[in-house]
Structure 1
Amino acid sequence: MNSQILAITVFLTTISLSTSVQAANSEHVRRLLATKECQNCDLTGAGLVLADLSGANLSGANLAGANLSRANLSAADLRGANLSGAGLFGVNLSSAKLSGANLAGADLRNSYLMNAELNGVNLNSTSLQGAIGIPSQIATPEEFYAWGVAEAQKGNQQQAIDYFRQAIAMKPDYAGAYLARGVARYQILDRQGAFQDAQMAEKMFISQNNNSGILTAQAFLKELQTPQDGKVSTGKPSFFDFVGSLGSVLLQFFPF
């Protein structure tokens, strides 16, 4: 409970306040919470942390700068809504309708976007790191790759593997993503999957004349082929540290 209170406090204190932004219409906030019907409402800067707004009708509403962290907006109608700069950390937007919404500058980290409708959404400068269910059409392969590396560095290997999978699905010759996915699989002791990815990475690096990539993939393959003598190591190497040059090779594929 204390950790939940602390988390909520952090969410509240991270909202940036601007003198040019007016407060939410209190009557509109009450209407929303009581009826879940608030089309075209003025909810600018509203505090709606952890609110249950599943199925709510918020089409055309102004939620600029609102704090909806950890709120439940599953299946909500947010078509044409203004969510610019909104705090949506950990929000549940599964199956939500967001077509034509403005999410510029919104914080969607660790959110849930499975089956969300995102046609024509403005995602300029939107933070999506850690989000689950990101549709492939709203991010580049390089962005999925960068998110994967970030999750792997934090120890979230399964999430990292999913991001690398999405990067590869969009860009089948993405050697760096194969190599990174192989490392993530190695971290969860999936040596067979890691070996297959390393082989693919090596093949692609060769076709792309990437000498550092070739050497790194080969070093990884050698590591994977080292006999384990029936022993399972209790310690796992960090994402970048198990071979000296791997980090610099993987960083070549970041979108900057």
Structure 2
Amino acid sequence: MKSKFLVVALAGALVAAPAHAEDLQQVQQLISTRQCSGCQLTRAGLVYANLQGADLSGANLVQANLTHANLSGANLQGANLAGAVLYGANLIGADLRGANLSGADIRDAYVSGINLEGANLQGAVLMGAIDIPAQYVSAEDYYRWGLMEDQRGNSNGAISYYNQAIALKSDFAHAYLARAASRLRLRDMTGAIADAQLANEYYLAQNNEQGHQMATRFTEGVQAAQEAANERPRRGGGGNFLGFLSGLASLAVRFLLPF
């Protein structure tokens, strides 16, 4: 019984071998000629590969690892890049019209001048991508990325994303309140109060009672903290003061997270 199973297993391996060899051959073809239209490159390891100007139109690059690859000016029209890793890749001027980028990791990639007309970006991770064309990212995207940076403890990074969210949507109350929380973590109480007050104005205009209450509570809390800061040199209690600020910022972010 065992020998029969072994024969079947070996037969299966032999059948599969040519396909694997063909994939390797196509990877070598791509590296040497940069001409691989329609190639089968599923799960190919192309980390740091120099594929500038390569023709990969219609290629199957499902789950391929293209981390930090140079794909500037590459032709990827109609390519299947579902689940591919393009982290930190150079995609400047790349042609991805009609490409499938569903679930692709495009974080920190350089995408200036990229053509994504008709591309499927469902589930693609674009956080940190540099020079994303405005039509492919929303104020809500920037806002969510800001919350993610805040949770990582990167307040400056969070503020940068909130700034971009507000630039696209000037009455984005949640973004103002989130930026207020990040500014508070950086001990910028004046900026935190200004943002919270703006958030409150927009919450009221949008009939968002919960937002109004949260922004009011936040503003009053920071103002109380400022008064306490003036008393601190005489009365001490620095640890409690810092803990209060951190708790207030966390409270605001918890309110915003379900967004």
The aligned counterpart of 1:160 is: 158
Question: In structure 2, what residue type is equivalent to 1:32?
Answer: L
Q: Which one of 124, 127, 130 corresponds to residue 125 of structure 2?
A: 127
- d(CA) in 2 for partners of 1:168 and 1:200? 12
Larger helix share, 1 or 2: 2
| Bigger-Rg structure (1/2) | 2
Deviates more, 1:142-151 or 1:88-97: 88-97
**What count of residue pairs does the alignment treat as equivalent?**
232
Q: How much does 1:180 deviate?
A: 0.8
Q: Distance in 2 between matches of 1:239 and 1:150?
A: 20
- Check the 8 A contact 1:240/1:247 in 2, yes or no: no
Partner of 2:199: 201
How much has 1:198 moved relative to structure 2? 1.8
Counterpart pick for 1:213 among 205, 211, 222: 211
Shift of 1:203: 0.5
Deviation, 1:208, is: 2.2
The 5 Å alignment of 1:72-91 reads: 72-91=70-89
CA contact (8 A) 2:105 2:125 kept: yes
Q: 1:161 to 1:46 in 2, by over 3 A?
A: same
Cα 1:243/1:88, change in 2 over 3 Å: closer
User: Mind listing any 5+ residue stretches in structure 2 that lack a counterpart?
Assistant: 1-15
Counterpart of 1:25? 23
Residue 111 of structure 2 corresponds to 113
Task: Say if 1:178 and 1:65 are closer, same or farther in 2 by CA, change over 3 A.
Answer: same
Q: Which residue of 2 aligns with 1:12?
A: none
State which of 222, 225, 248 in structure 2 corresponds to 1:242. 248
Residue of structure 2 in register with 1:138 after alignment: 136
Residue 153 of structure 1: how far off its partner (Å) = 0.8
Q: Retained in 1: the 8 A contact 2:49–2:66?
A: yes
Distance 1:130 1:244, change over 3 A: closer
Q: Report the TM-score, using the length of structure 2 for normalisation.
A: 0.74
CA shift in 2, pair 1:188/1:51, >3 Å: farther
Q: Does the 8 Å contact 2:178/2:252 carry over to 1?
A: no
Residues 174 and 199 of structure 2 are in contact (CA less than 8 Å); yes or no, is this contact kept in structure 1? yes
Return closer, same or farther for 1:189/1:87 CA change in 2, 3 Å cut-off. same
Query: What's the counterpart of residue 16 of structure 1?
Result: none
Residue correspondence of structure 1 range 4-83 to structure 2 within 5 A: 23=20, 25-83=23-81
Q: Is the 8 A contact 1:240 1:246 kept in 2?
A: no
Cα 1:143–1:67 shift into 2, 3 Å: same
Query: Normalising by the residue count of structure 1, what TM-score does the alignment of the two structures yield?
Result: 0.74
Runs of 4+ in 1 over 6 A off after TM superposition: 233-240
Q: Does 1:186 align with 2:188?
A: no
* % identical equivalent positions: 44
State the shift of 1:191 in Å: 4.3
1:122-143: CA deviations, max 9, x gaps? 0122233443433332244333
Counterpart Cα distance in 1 of 2:50 and 2:198: 46
Per-residue displacement from partner, 1:70-121 (whole Å, max 9, x unpaired)? 3232333322222112122333323322222110122223433334222211
